[in-house]
Amino acid sequence: MRIAVTGASGFVGGEVCRELLRAGHEVVGFGRRPAPAGLDGVDYRRWDLAAGPLPEPPEVAAVVHCAGTVSDWGPAREFTATNVDGTARALATFPAARFVHVSTASVYDPRRPTVMAAEDEAPVRRYLNAYGSSKARAERLVLAAMAERAAIVVRPHAIYGPGDPTLLPRVLAAVRGRWLPAVGDGRQRVSLTSVANLARACLLAATGPVGRGVFNVTDAEPVVLDDALRAVLAARGIAARPVYLPLRAVWPLATAAELLFRLAGSRRPPRLTRYAASHLAVERTLDITAARERLGYRPAPTSFAGAESW
């Protein structure tokens, strides 16, 4: 099968390309950057979705749409251009192909705990930043397209693994000497998603018997936040331990920091945002029953083995 992957030069898109190749599929990868290393066997082509539609697209049976802007800080127009308008262009460019949209658990309500959330609990109408709002809008485009074409949405949470540009670097950057400041009490459960598990889910969504649906995609079971943070620190050989601050104390500080950074027109985010705090301080777990039963998804458990070289 010939399958297109947008965002192929990125962390998730690159791993999806490699998973499809391992399964014997022909892969056409699209990215806005020059062809990166590690995509041998991929027919890689330049395409910036934010810049406009793709002229003369190749014929493909399916598209895995991984391209997007992932950050908890930045102008709304940039998220709209990439995550919303980019998704619309990808849908229009490949109208006859099965469309697999890589979304995010950030489409769930950020202002309350997410406790083994089912897929029908999102999208919602309120978000803490432009990222969550733009991904919800993109999902709605794909959900609307399901009336006329095969389309699947997958929702991972806190993606990690080799080459991780976001989650692991952010955790390590927060270390202060022998302490890793965090929010909450450390006992809250979280669902994490290894990039390998996500790539397998995308393969199943692009090639399996299910033509439509929304599926949470995480590791096999949730983990306790404190256990996960200690495992990351141990894997990297860092002699530090997590210390926890209550959300009620952190929230006003994060709100004030965001206001000051916006007034200053800073493109650099504050060290702590409400979005980040909301994902650390309370339970964030997803129910993956639908993916197991309908997609045949069999995820591996959370593991940071090999993290010393990530």
pLDDT band for 310, please (50, 70, 90 cuts). Answer: confident
Highest mean pLDDT among 42-56, 63-77, 86-100: 86-100
Secondary structure (DSSP) of 173-224: HT-BTTEEEEES-S--EE--EEHHHHHHHHHHHHHSS--EEEEEE--SS-EE
Q: Is residue 24 part of a domain?
A: yes
pLDDT band for 306, please (50, 70, 90 cuts). Answer: confident
Q: Pick from 129, 279, 250, 235: which is nearest to 181 by CA?
A: 250
Q: Is residue 69 part of a domain?
A: yes
Give residue-wise pLDDT tens across range 199-253: 999 999 999 999 999 999 999 999 999 999 999 999 999 999 999 999 999 999 9
pLDDT at 308 over 90: no
Measured CA distances, 173 to 22, 115, 184, 235 (Å): 34, 28, 19, 15
* Residue 99, domain CATH: 3.40.50.720
**Full residue range of the structural domain in which residue 264 is found:** 2-305
What integer best gives the mean pLDDT of the chain? 95
pLDDT at 166: 86
Q: Is residue 310 part of a domain?
A: no
Q: Is residue 277 part of a domain?
A: yes
pLDDT band for 52, please (50, 70, 90 cuts). Answer: confident
pLDDT at 290: 98
d(CA 260, CA 270): 9
Measured CA distances, 1 to 21, 24, 72, 98, 109 (Å): 10, 8, 36, 12, 37
Q: Is residue 268 part of a domain?
A: yes
What is the arithmetic mean of pLDDT over 258-284? 89
> For residues 17 and 42, is the Cβ–Cβ distance under 8 A?
yes
pLDDT at 170 over 90: no
pLDDT at 268: 85
pLDDT band for 146, please (50, 70, 90 cuts). Answer: very high
In which residue are the tokens 């806005």 written? Answer: 32
pLDDT at 261: 92
Q: Is residue 155 part of a domain?
A: yes
pLDDT at 29: 98
| Structural tokens at position 59 | 């014929």
Domain count, the chain: 1
Give residue-wise pLDDT tens across range 234-248: 999 999 999 999 999
pLDDT at 51 over 90: no
% pLDDT > 90, the chain: 85
End-to-end Cα separation, the chain, in angstroms: 31
pLDDT at 180 over 90: yes
